[in-house]
Amino acid sequence: MDGSTPKLKLAVYWASACGGCCVSVLDVHEKLFDVIAAADFVFWPIALDIKYRDVENMPENHIDVTLFNGAVRNSENEHMALLLRKKSRILVACGSCSHLGGIPGLANFSTKEEILRRIYEENESTINPEKVRPLPECKVKEGTLTLPVFYNDVRSLSQVVDVDYYIPGCPPQTERLLEVFDTIISGAELPLKGSVIGADTKAQCDECTRKITENKRIRKFYRPWEIEDDGVTCFMEQGVICLGPATRAGCGYRCIKGNAPCRGCYGPPPGVTDPGSKMMSAIAGIIEEKEPEEISRVLEDVVDPSGLFYRFSLPVSLIRRKLP
């Protein structure tokens, strides 16, 4: 970029996340330095108080692009989502947690009360006769200490604020992230608002290298340890549930290369709104049995279907959460 063009202002923030998205960015060092040369990181997850104040002091739309990773789990995450929306021209939900709720979203199978009780009271190694729990505001001898409020529900970013684009993946594959950076930096025309970027438009199965047999039908489902995986045949055809049919391609089918079935971190492909419904139709299409009783016998082998089909997407799914 020449000196006459102002450098692009980028921001990165993580909310309820594990750090894997950042590790994915850092995995291609040299390329990252190109990004830094072309763009200013005006906000990187640093000193929190200051971060808040500095960001709060920015004019609206001051940041060109914010990559937001992590789900919205507590009041601090929510505050930052609202703030960054206001200050960013383009807000990108980056990674499964921000895009779909992700693994932390599985917490929507429980309530806040059940989680806190389990961790701080019932837990086998915890000694806490007075049932102390972390408090949003706590008086200590020397003054007052504060903590964010832990919410009942985990939400994806778009359930809290308006989102411009989504980059899927747990974590997003490094190469795909760099493609997105390149596009943004080059000033090329951006896709329609609301698009999924940094991924393909097909389903995993369309790109998977495992072998499929036309019209193959099965009579029983197995858990991964109940069979000897041959390493080459489609998992579904071996009777092991694989989320490939309900998952967008673009990850380079990393897990499948490691002989593990897909668990859906890239989210549903275009045209599929709910991975659970899509998986039910994929299952219905592959089983031999056609009588309702036989079908339900086969389906009994599928353990924890909601935890499996919505492994990365419970908060944005049709069921959203377990009702109390």
Closest separation in Å from C-beta 119 to another protein: 6
Whether residue 250 contacts residue 228, with contact meaning beta carbons closer than 8 Å, is answered with no
Q: Which lies closer to another protein via its Cβ, residue 174 or residue 233? A: 174
Query: Does 143 interact with another protein (rule: CB under 8 A)?
Result: yes
Query: Does 224 interact with another protein (rule: CB under 8 A)?
Result: yes
Query: Does 29 interact with another protein (rule: CB under 8 A)?
Result: yes
Query: Does 73 interact with another protein (rule: CB under 8 A)?
Result: yes
Query: Does 246 interact with another protein (rule: CB under 8 A)?
Result: no
Q: What does residue 10 show for φ and ψ, rounded to 5 degrees?
A: -110, 150
Q: Name the nearest CA neighbour of 264 among 284, 282, 287.
A: 282
Listed ranges 49-57, 194-202, 208-216, 290-298: which one lies at the site for another protein (CB under 8 A): 49-57
Q: Which lies closer to another protein via its Cβ, residue 33 or residue 89? A: 33
Closest separation in Å from C-beta 311 to another protein: 8
- Which tokens sit at 13? 């923030």
- Based on the number of CB atoms within 10 Å of its own CB, is 236 exposed (0-12), middle (13-18) or buried (19 or more)? buried
Q: Which lies closer to another protein via its Cβ, residue 164 or residue 221? A: 221
d(CA 210, CA 96): 25
d(CA 61, CA 42): 12
Listed ranges 84-92, 137-145, 271-279, 283-291: which one lies at the site for another protein (CB under 8 A): 137-145
d(CA 191, CA 169): 19
Listed ranges 112-120, 181-189, 197-205, 266-274: which one lies at the site for another protein (CB under 8 A): 112-120
Query: Does 101 interact with another protein (rule: CB under 8 A)?
Result: no
Q: Which lies closer to another protein via its Cβ, residue 146 or residue 273? A: 146
What is the distance, to the nearest Å, from the Cα of residue 260 to the centroid of all Cα atoms in its chain?
19
What are 145's strand-pairing partners?
Answer: 138
Query: Does 316 interact with another protein (rule: CB under 8 A)?
Result: no
Residue located via tokens 């992230």: 177
Closest separation in Å from C-beta 108 to another protein: 8
Query: Does 323 interact with another protein (rule: CB under 8 A)?
Result: no
Whether residue 106 contacts residue 80, with contact meaning beta carbons closer than 8 Å, is answered with no
The footprint of another protein on this chain (CB under 8 A) covers a number of residues equal to: 76
Q: Name the nearest CA neighbour of 243 among 291, 306, 177.
A: 306
Q: Which lies closer to another protein via its Cβ, residue 2 or residue 225? A: 225
Query: Does 301 interact with another protein (rule: CB under 8 A)?
Result: no
Residues within window 204-223 making contact with another protein, judged by CB under 8 A: 223
Angle, nearest 10°, between helix axes 29-38 and 174-186?
Answer: 20
Residues within window 162-201 making contact with another protein, judged by CB under 8 A: 170-171, 173-174
Per DSSP, the residues of 231-262 read SSB-TGGGTB--SGGGSBS-S--HHHHTT---
Residues within window 117-136 making contact with another protein, judged by CB under 8 A: 118-120, 123-128, 132-135
- Which tokens sit at 156? 């994806």
